[in-house]
């Protein structure tokens, strides 16, 4: 009953108006469950033209071994679950729940008439470094295991795949491991029937990058990859070339330095050749190392300037994408800065040259030291983005990029704030605030029930396993209701 009603309400909402893309939010499928497909990739159904997204399925307490989930969508915003496309098989050598089944990519093979799923296949200590292949006549699966092989005798770790829209040929992208003999990223052409990698097209030598993907424009190829910092984000880079065989440019950052690509890791990208515009999407993971199953998806438009070969991933809290025309537009919200908010307890405004109005709210802590914003609402659920700075952790392992403000000497990846709307303490909303560099302000969205007229939004600190500190707050932005005319309580079960 619950699910049926929820899907009905969502289906109505989907008709009422375009659904927006909200990077870094909790995404829910049409059954009301968390969108659970990490390090994934898209494939289009040959017959229906529908999008299918495949990714690693992760549940609470289980980091690996969940198999590969699949969702379908017409608009890249509304997703319907089709369960597992590849289900782990007990005691199987390559696809048991003790194996690594990571970074799946699905490509249709015209020769075999089947969908081919490729992934990074490994044991639990990453000692094999293989590529897995499973096939299915149906895009949503179930997929049947075919093989786990080493491409042309080489190691293969983080896996990506890409199809050249001009030649129609598909390519595998893979880093060849962390050992000194490896540390390359390979770009290799698949054979015509997509059953094996047949030739190395280019080797990105010794950069020690991973999580590769390629975006193709009219003139260029851009390969995006991350540095290797595990599940911690870093500054993703791009390299450009006229031909896949190279020469390739020097790597360059794809977003402002120190934002760590808005706390994300690359992994997939997509070209939407719409009727009015070609749009490129960066489709990344915002990993949560403390609880991987809660990791978010961050999909953002990519801006490319062919004149100087530059590419930029640009942050938008919310945008409206039309996959038919290729057009998209950022949604405009109303900004409320901390400088004009009400502070209580030990919370105070501190001078900060990088903050809105030269002041940032700091000292937010537990139940007593809080910041309260008074905002206008429209009597429905509305997205609110919270812009914070959290400098608990400024480095990674042996690559510190500054001194951390550690909580009791422990590296921390996130603070957690409580968000209370109109004093309703029964319904505390949880806001994860990932670490940033000093002076870097990033945002996290929450969907909040606002009433018509004035509302208060109060931010305090919640326990993150170490302390009750909330991150420093710069401002919040309140967005109009999604779909415009949909005024009902759409997400009533939140």
Residue closest to ligand NAG (Cβ): 366
Residue 64 has what DSSP assignment? S
Minimum gap (Å) between residue 166 Cβ and ligand NAG: 22
Q: Which residue has the tokens 């501190």?
A: 350
DSSP E strands in 274-347: the ranges are 278-286, 296-305, 310-313, 319-321, 328-330, 334-337, 342-343
* Among residues 210, 285, 320, 467, the one that binds ligand NAG under rule CB under 6 A: 467
Q: Segment near ligand NAG (CB under 6 A), from 63-71, 253-261, 331-339, 460-468?
A: 460-468
Closest to ligand NAG by CB, 97 or 112: 112
Backbone angles phi, psi at 112, to 5 degrees: -95, -15
Closest C-alpha among 317, 342, 359, 337 to residue 423:
342
Q: Which residue has the tokens 């009603």?
A: 5
Q: Which residue has the tokens 């004149």?
A: 307
Q: Are the C-beta atoms of residues 459 and 472 closer than 8 Å to each other?
A: no
DSSP for 246-280 reads S-B---EESS-TTSHHHH-EEEEEEEEE-SS-EEE
For position 345 contacting ligand NAG by CB under 6 A, the verdict is no
Distance of CA 279 to the CA centre of its chain: 18
For position 468 contacting ligand NAG by CB under 6 A, the verdict is yes
* Among residues 33, 62, 111, 165, the one that binds ligand NAG under rule CB under 6 A: 111
Closest to ligand NAG by CB, 32 or 366: 366
* Among residues 136, 216, 367, 378, the one that binds ligand NAG under rule CB under 6 A: 367
Q: Tell me how far CA of residue 308 lies from CA of 223, 250, 393, in angstroms.
A: 16, 13, 35
Residue 130 has what DSSP assignment? E
Minimum gap (Å) between residue 114 Cβ and ligand NAG: 8
For position 200 contacting ligand NAG by CB under 6 A, the verdict is yes
Q: Are the C-beta atoms of residues 122 and 176 closer than 8 Å to each other?
A: no
Minimum gap (Å) between residue 194 Cβ and ligand NAG: 8
Q: Segment near ligand NAG (CB under 6 A), from 47-55, 190-198, 300-308, 376-384?
A: 190-198
Closest to ligand NAG by CB, 119 or 468: 468
For position 464 contacting ligand NAG by CB under 6 A, the verdict is no
Minimum gap (Å) between residue 454 Cβ and ligand NAG: 25
* Among residues 8, 48, 144, 193, the one that binds ligand NAG under rule CB under 6 A: 193
Which 122-181 positions form the footprint of ligand NAG (CB under 6 A)?
Answer: 152-154, 181
**Contacts with ligand NAG: how many residues (CB under 6 A)?**
19
Measured over the CA atoms of residue 403, residue 406, residue 410 and residue 416, the dihedral's sign is negative
Backbone angles phi, psi at 216, to 5 degrees: -110, 130
Minimum gap (Å) between residue 364 Cβ and ligand NAG: 11
Q: How does strand 442-450 pair with strand 296-305?
A: unpaired
Closest to ligand NAG by CB, 91 or 275: 91
- Token digits of residue 380: 């429905």
Q: How does strand 114-122 pair with strand 429-434?
A: unpaired
Closest to ligand NAG by CB, 56 or 467: 467
Closest to ligand NAG by CB, 409 or 453: 409
Rg (CA), the chain: 23
For position 90 contacting ligand NAG by CB under 6 A, the verdict is yes
Q: Segment near ligand NAG (CB under 6 A), from 20-28, 45-53, 188-196, 394-402?
A: 188-196
Backbone angles phi, psi at 2, to 5 degrees: -55, -50
Closest to ligand NAG by CB, 91 or 250: 91
Distance CA 142, CA 140 (A): 6
- Token digits of residue 336: 């409320």
Which 306-325 positions form the footprint of ligand NAG (CB under 6 A)?
Answer: none
Closest to ligand NAG by CB, 131 or 235: 131
Minimum gap (Å) between residue 190 Cβ and ligand NAG: 10
Minimum gap (Å) between residue 72 Cβ and ligand NAG: 26
407's enclosing H/E stretch is none
Q: Would you tell me which residues interact with ligand NAG (CB under 6 A)?
A: 90-91, 111-112, 152-154, 181, 184, 191, 193, 195, 200, 366-367, 408, 466-468
């Amino acid at each position: 009953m619950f699910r049926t009603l929820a899907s009905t309400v969502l289906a109505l909402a989907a008709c009422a108006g375009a659904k927006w893309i909200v990077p870094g939010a909790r995404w829910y499928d049409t059954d009301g469950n968390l969108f659970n497909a990490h390090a994934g990739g898209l494939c289009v159904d040959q017959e229906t033209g529908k999008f299918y997204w495949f990714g690693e399925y992760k549940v609470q307490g289980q980091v690996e071994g969940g198999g590969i989930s699949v969702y379908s969508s017409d608009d890249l915003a509304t997703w319907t679950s089709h369960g597992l496309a590849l289900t782990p098989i007990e005691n199987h050598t390559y696809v048991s729940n003790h194996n690594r089944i990571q970074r799946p990519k699905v490509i249709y093979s015209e020769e075999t008439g089947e969908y081919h799923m490729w992934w990074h296949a490994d044991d639990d200590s990453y000692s094999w470094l293989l590529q897995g292949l499973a096939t299915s006549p149906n895009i949503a699966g179930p997929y049947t295991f075919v093989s786990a092989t080493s491409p042309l005798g080489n190691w293969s770790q983080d896996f990506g795949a890409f199809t050249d829209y001009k030649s129609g040929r598909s390519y595998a992208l893979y880093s060849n491991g962390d050992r000194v003999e490896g540390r390359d990223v390979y770009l290799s052409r698949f054979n015509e029937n997509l059953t094996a990698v047949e030739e190395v097209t280019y080797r990105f030598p010794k950069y020690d990058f991973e999580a590769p993907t390629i975006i193709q424009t009219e003139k260029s190829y851009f390969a995006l990859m991350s540095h290797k910092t595990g599940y911690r984000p870093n500054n993703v880079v791009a390299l450009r070339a006229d031909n896949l065989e190279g020469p390739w440019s020097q790597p360059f950052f794809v977003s402002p330095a120190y934002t760590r690509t808005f706390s994300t890791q690359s992994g997939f990208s997509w070209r939407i050749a719409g009727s009015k515009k070609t749009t490129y999407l960066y489709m990344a993971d915002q990993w949560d190392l403390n609880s991987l199953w809660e990791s978010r998806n961050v999909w953002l438009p990519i801006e490319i300037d062919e004149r100087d070969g530059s590419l930029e991933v640009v942050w938008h809290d919310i945008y409206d994408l039309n996959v038919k025309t290729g057009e998209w537009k950022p949604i405009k919200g109303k900004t409320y800065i901390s400088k004009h908010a009400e502070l209580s307890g030990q919370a105070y405004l501190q001078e900060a040259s990088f903050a809105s109005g030269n002041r940032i709210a700091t000292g937010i802590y537990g139940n007593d030291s809080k910041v309260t914003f008074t905002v206008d609402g429209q009597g429905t659920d509305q997205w609110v983005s919270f812009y914070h700075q959290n400098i608990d952790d400024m480095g990674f392992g042996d690559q510190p990029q500054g001194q951390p403000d550690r909580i009791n000497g422990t590296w921390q990846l996130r603070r957690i704030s409580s968000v209370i709307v109109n004093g309703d303490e029964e319904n505390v909303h949880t806001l994860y605030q990932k670490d940033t560099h000093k002076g870097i302000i990033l945002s996290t969205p929450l969907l909040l029930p606002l009433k018509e007229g004035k509302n208060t939004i109060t931010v305090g600190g919640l326990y993150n396993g170490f302390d009750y500190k909330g991150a420093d707050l710069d401002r919040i932005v309140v967005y109009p209701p999604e779909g415009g005319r949909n005024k009902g309580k759409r997400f009533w079960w939140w």
